[in-house]
Structure 1
Amino acid sequence: MNMTSTTFSSPAARPATRRTVDAPTRVMHWLMALSFLGAYLTADGERWRLLHVTLGYTLAGLLSFRVVWGLIGPRHARLSALGRKLQAMPQWLAGLRSGTINVRLGQNLLLSLSVVMLLALIAPLTLSGYGTYNEWAGEWLEDVHEFFGNALLAVVLAHVALIAALSLLRRKNQVTPMLTGRVEGSGPDLLKSDHYPVAALLLAAVLGFWAWQWQQAPAVGTGGTGQGATLSSGGRDAPARDGAYDGRRAPKHGERHHD
């Protein structure tokens, strides 16, 4: 009697991965991206003025967190790690002059440089926005704020284009590390821990600040505060408060209001 054997195929093993980006860095990255996008889209007019100001404060707070985390966080999240990557610039330029082009090194340098420029532009952007909101100077400060906003947008777009180009060249999604914290490949993890408690505290702090700003916003048509008030109200008779619209003049026709 012939016996027919059935072969059961085992499920394909998952590719090996290793941890490269901690959770606080990932949470900060996406909160910063969303805050800048929201702030840029709400830069014109008075209707979304309070939301624009709130997102500007959020950007400043996230930058402060990044600096602190870059000093006390894990080794691969340190600001010194970015500095070490940029130190390879003379080596790459020397190879470029001699006709020996290190493509991989050049890609890493461009990526690191774009990150440094992003972080460096947030400080003057938020400071000029705060000064504009509090009328520290004339309209020239508003122009400065607009300049840094457009400059940061240009660097953001260049950063996104670079990530997309590297994904195509390396045939590997370069966004994955900022989503999962891991990259494909064998070898030891670069981080011992994901530091999830720190990431949770950061997210809770940002959401708590947004909720507080919502509560402090003047209610539509009343000038009061309370649950249900909207950050987009900006009534002209609303009382002045930190982060809330204080009844300053509306922009003239064709004039941009950047905070």
Structure 2
Amino acid sequence: MPAIAHVNGEFQMMSNTSATALTHQGLSAPTRRTVDALTRTLHAFMALSFVGAYITAESEIFRLVHVSLGYTLGGLLVARLIWGLLGPRHARLSALWGKLRGLGDWWHGLRTGRASWRQMQNLYMAVSVVAVLLAIAPVVLSGYVTYQEWTGEWMEDVHEFFGNFMLMAVLAHVLAVVVLSLLRRRNLATPMFTGRVEGVGPDLIPSNHWTLAALLLAAVLSFWVWQWQASPQVPAEGGASWLHPAPGRAQSQDDDDD
């Protein structure tokens, strides 16, 4: 299907290949919106929260950061599930489920020697996304129980297991994006940054939902500020520390002093 682009003051007809060539020449090429701002903001905060929480998992100094990012990740999961029910078509959980339903047909095709390579790519991407989403709840819940010291040390092992499982799921998802980008010769990560892809036709997402994205941003930042202000300031060797002790840990120290 030809595209219409504005080149040198004139509107000209062009193919998708020509549109890509225009981009390399620094000229304006047609694009269309495929991912709304709220979905992109959710995706960015979920990635940031997990990476930050994983990096600070073994640090006593940054315990408050680890706990706050864990809570944030749990809240973002709830928001993503709600958006998956009420959001636009591309963000719906039903769209993800629609891709997964093709697993049976692909497996049957594999057994009969007629498996679809394109379908396998889409299935791998969908499975990696589902694995990441399914890992969040047990990671957050086991972390909360560990932080509250409601159980023995075995819960720490459970939390570590699910944390590593989620890391594997995230890496599998990133690998899927990289490999499929190379195979299809286009950057599949771009829509999660810009919300748009090169191509002709109308926007697939009529509304960008900037207001909802701004509200989410404000909510997350406000929660982080509140966590910081609510954390007790406890002295540490060599100066002050903003380490946020576990609720049971402070009591345990008092008992030890007695």
* Residue 234 in structure 1 maps to residue 237 in structure 2: no
| Match of residue 10 from structure 1 | 8
* Whole-angstrom CA distance in 1 between matches of 2:251 and 2:71: 19
Please give the per-residue CA displacement for 1:183-219, whole angstroms capped at 9, x wherever unaligned: 2222332211111100100011000100111111223
Which residue of 1 is the match for residue 179 of structure 2? 165
* 1:209–1:246 distance in 2 versus 1, CA, 3 Å: farther
2:123 and 2:200 map into 1 onto residues whose CA distance is 24
More helix by share: 2
8 Å contact from structure 2 (residues 108, 115) kept in 1: no
Q: Single out whichever of 93-102 and 66-75 deviates more from structure 2.
A: 93-102
Distance 1:248 1:87 in 2: 51
What letter matches 2:205 in structure 1? L
Structure 1 stretches (4+) deviating beyond 6 angstroms? none
Partner Cα separation in structure 1 for residue 137 and residue 47 of structure 2 = 15
> Which residue of 40, 46, 53 corresponds with 1:39?
53
SS of residue matched to 1:247: helix
For the residue of structure 1 that corresponds to 2:186, the secondary structure is coil
Pair 235,19 (structure 1): closer, same or farther in 2 beyond 3 Å? closer
Report which of the two has the higher share of strand: 2
Gaps of 5+ in 2: 1-6, 10-21, 254-258
Whole-angstrom CA distance in 2 between matches of 1:103 and 1:184? 24
* Residues 1:100 and 1:207: Cα distance change in structure 2 (over 3 Å): same
Find the counterpart in structure 1 of residue 67 from structure 2. 53
Alignment of 1:13-28 (within 5 A): 13-28=27-42
Consecutive unaligned residues of structure 1, counting only runs of 5 or more, are 1-8, 223-229, 251-259
Letter in 1 for 2:243: G
Is residue 160 of structure 2 the alignment partner of residue 146 of structure 1? yes
1:10 is displaced (CA, Å) by: 2.7
Does structure 1 retain, via aligned residues, the 8 Å contact 2:63–2:244?
Answer: no
Q: Which residue of 2 aligns with 1:74?
A: 88
Match for 2:129 among 100, 108, 115? Answer: 115
Q: What does the per-residue CA deviation read over 1:145-169, in whole Å, with 9 as the maximum and x for residues that have no partner?
A: 0000000001111111111111111
For this pair of structures, how many residues does the alignment match? 228
5 Å-filtered alignment, 1:216-235, equals 216-219=230-233, 221=235, 233-234=242-243
Q: What is the CA distance between 1:95 and its match in structure 2?
A: 1.7
* RMSD over aligned Cα atoms: 2.2
Pick one of 106, 128, 131 that aligns with 1:92.
Answer: 106
Paired residue for 2:43, among 29, 35, 49?
29
2:251 & 2:95 partners in 1: Cα distance?
44
2:216 equivalent to 1:213: no
Cα deviation, 1:36-67, whole Å, max 9, x if unaligned, reads: 01100111131111111000000000001001
Structural mapping, 1:181-192, within 5 Å? 181-192=195-206
Give TM-score scaled by structure 2 length: 0.82
Larger displacement relative to structure 2 (59-68 or 133-142): 133-142
Judge which range, 213-222 or 43-52, deviates more.
213-222
Contact 1:235 1:247 in 2 (8 A): no
Aligned counterpart in structure 2 of residue 247 of structure 1, from 230, 247, 250: 250
SS of the aligned residue for 1:221 comes to strand
